[in-house]
Structure formats: structure tokens, C-alpha cells
Amino acid sequence: LFRLTVKRLFSTLHSSVDSAEMKKFQLLAHKWWDEEGEYSALHSMNDIRVPFIRDTLLNMSSNYHLGSPLAGIKILDVGCGGGLLSEPLGRLGASVTGIDPLEDNIRTADRHKSFDPVLAKRIQYKSSSLEEIVEESMETFDVIVASEVVEHVADLEMFIKCCSQVLKPEGSLFITTINKTQLSYVLGIVVAEKIMGIVPDGTHEWEKFVPPEELERLLESNGFSVKAVNGMLYNPLSGSWSWTESTSVNYALHAVKSGAHGQSSPAEALPEMEREQPLATAGTAM
């Protein structure tokens, strides 16, 4: 019992969950499923992030059924909110586990999926932080999706480490987030929040935005290999998202966890070998 309480203490101290962030989302816990409401930009983001995930995974596998393209794939949706992204992924055949630290969000998500008999079975929601499920879910998931989440976490490196622990070797990690640039301050905070109200005021803090270079660095140094980074652009007039060259504001990223024994793909073989040399000498030295 004692050890358990210590562990709990530890996990809140070294948590990736930021309690101030949680308070912000608490107020809007009921608004998730209003397609024209506060979360309308996230609803329309499905039009590009779902095909991105779907097509990347289809390209990586050789046997699939177009009628159920994600069948047999276990996905973890971290920071799932009201389940906006979990539901389409579930409809495409995946088994989805959605986690969110806010209980009200999970309640909303559970109620919304309950009306659809197919989704009710395919998706499981849990009120939890990422760290809390690490122990029982080591190397369980084929795919992790962290969409519009990393700009809200307290400790990004720990978040990535936990992702690596629950992901199977050669599993995929999909992240969408916002870059930390002057442009993203102007468009992402001033225009989006203060002027046009595309995002509820106070949702984002520019300080916590993550440049893709830093995200890539953290991922690569924690056993991931970044495969793709694409810029995303929101058009407030049409309410729709599109892909763009520039990652100055929003972007999406796909990374793959290296396989067992540090072998992720032939292209990476050379640097891996170089790294393995010092390990070998270290071993013999011992």
C-alpha cells in the first residue's frame, strides 16, 4: 500500500498532465459534439487527419480490406477529448482505446459512442493520463495518435518516452500540433483566439507550442524515426483544412518506433551499427 501511494505521488510530480490545462478544457466538456460550435475546427480537421492516418497505415501494410481499412489495428488516442478522432478511426475498423485525464470528457465520449452499436464495441474510453496506463499496456498498441495534444503537456520528453513504452516495435506515432513561430503567434493566438474566435480564448499558450525541429530531435533521441512532416492550413472562410508546404503554423508528423534490437529500417542500418560498436566495447570492458 505504501509503495502504491509513493508511486502515485511520483506520477503526479513527474506527470505530463498539466492541471491548469485541465481546468481550461473542463468548461467546454459538453461542447465537443456540436459540429458548428467551439470545436468546429477540430471536427473539420478530421477531413485531413483521418485520411493521413488511414493512407499512411494502408501504405505500410500489404493485406487490407478497403471496406474496413484499419481492421485489426489497435490504436491509442491520447488526449481523445470527446472522441472526435476516435470515432472515425473506429468506423474504419480499428480497435480504439481513448484516454483523457478529464473525466467529463470521457463521460461525453462514452455517451456519444453508446448510441452506435458498432462503435460502442470498437472503442473503449478511460479517464487516465498516459503514464498511468504504461504499466498495464507495455508494447500493446500498433498505433498512437496524439492530435492537438503535445502543445498542452507539461513534460514533452516524458510523454514521448511513455509513447515509446506502450507502442509495439515498428509501431506508428501520429502527432498534430502547432509550431512556435511569430506567424503562429499572430495566426494561432491573436487571430484564431482573440479576433475570430476559431479557438476558444485561452486554449493555447504560445510558450508551449512545439517547433517541428525540437519534436523531431526528441523523437529521434527516444527511439523513433521520423518519416513525414507536413504543414496544415486552416481556411476560416470555408472552415476547412488543407495540406501546405509551410509548417510555420500547424503541422502533422508521422514517426515509427524502431524495431527490436535497434533495427528500424535498412536506411538506418549504418548509423545503428556505429552506435552498437561503443556498446559492445562497453560490454567487454565490464
Partner 1 sequence: VGYDIHFHDKKIALLEAGPRKEYDGVPDSFSNRVSSISPGSATLLSSFGAWDHVCSLRHKPFRRMQVWDACSEAMIVFEKDDLDDMGYIVENDVIMAALTKQLDAVADRVEVFYRSRAVGYTWPLPSHNCDTSPWVQIELADGRRLQTKLLIGADGHNSVVRKEAEIKNIEHRYDQSAVVATLHLSEATDNNVAWQRFLPTGPIALLPLSDTASSLVWSTSHEHASELLAMDEESFVDSINSAFWSNVNHSDFIDTAGAMFRSAISLLKPSGTAVRQLPPSVAKVDPESRAMFPLGMGHATEYVQHRVALIGDAAHRVHPLAGQGVNLGFGDIACLAHHLSTAAFNGSDLGSLKHLLKFETERQRHNVSLIAATDVLKRLYSTRLAPLVLLRTWGLQATNALPPVKVRISLY
Alpha helices in the chain (DSSP H): 2-13, 19-26, 40-60, 86-91, 103-114, 117-122, 130-134, 156-166, 182-183, 212-220, 269-285
State the number of CA atoms in the 13 A half-sphere of 140 facing the CB: 14
Separation of alpha carbons 38 and 226, rounded Å: 32
Stretch in the footprint of partner 1 (CB under 8 A) among 10-18, 73-81, 91-99, 184-192: 91-99
Separation of alpha carbons 90 and 92, rounded Å: 5
Q: Is position 263 an interface residue for partner 1 (rule: CB under 8 A)? A: no
Q: Is position 52 an interface residue for partner 1 (rule: CB under 8 A)? A: no
Stretch in the footprint of partner 1 (CB under 8 A) among 90-98, 129-137, 165-173, 183-191: 90-98
Q: Is position 51 an interface residue for partner 1 (rule: CB under 8 A)? A: yes
Q: Is position 214 an interface residue for partner 1 (rule: CB under 8 A)? A: no
Separation of alpha carbons 3 and 230, rounded Å: 44
The nearest distance, CB 121 to partner 1, in angstroms, is 12
Nearer to partner 1 by Cβ, of 2 and 115: the residue is: 115
Nearer to partner 1 by Cβ, of 137 and 147: the residue is: 147
Q: Cβ contacts of residue 250 below 8 Å, gap of 6+?
A: 176, 177, 178, 179, 184, 188, 231, 232, 233, 234
Q: Is position 50 an interface residue for partner 1 (rule: CB under 8 A)? A: yes
Q: Which of residues 100-119 bind partner 1 (CB under 8 A)?
A: 111-112, 115, 118
What does the binding site for partner 1 look like in residue numbers (CB under 8 A)? 30, 33-35, 43-44, 46-47, 50-51, 54, 65-69, 87-93, 111-112, 115, 118
